[in-house]
Amino acid sequence: MPKFYGYKRCSTSQNAQKWFDDKGISYDFQDLVETPPEKDLLLSWLTKYQDRGLRYFFNTSGQHYRQMGLKDKLPNMTTEEAADLLSKDGKLIKRPLVVDDQHLTCGFKEEVYEQTWK
């Protein structure tokens, strides 16, 4: 069963949840703002899916991202530093983040979900 890290007040998370619900796909929801994924977990995902780049995991349109000036810092950031930041502030994570043993997606694009989570 996929683990769904979302934010209840985020329309993108709500749309992704609706997609799962409409398809009858079960998932385990965790509020990533209240309880972000642990650093070790994030580090394993950032490493396993490193071909996507660190930017893939960050909510680049979020206020926290802009306030921290991460656009300029991200290119020189280590995987360890990124995992540490993301684990301390769930609003930095692009949402929803959905993961199981074989797949991981950040954000919601229906065509990606059709290919990945069906």
pLDDT band at residue 17, thresholds of 50, 70 and 90? very high
| Max CA pair span of the chain | 41
pLDDT digits (tens, 9 = 90+) for 49-69: 999 999 999 999 999 999 999
What is the dihedral sign for C-alpha 71, 98, 91, 108? positive
What is the dihedral sign for C-alpha 76, 78, 81, 86? positive
pLDDT recorded at residue 118: 87
Task: Please give the model's pTM, rounded to 2 decimal places.
Answer: 0.96
Give all strands (DSSP E) within the chain, no chain letters: 3-6, 28-31, 97-99, 104-106
CB neighbour list of residue 106: distance below 8 Å, 6 or more residues apart: 56, 57, 93, 94, 95, 96, 97
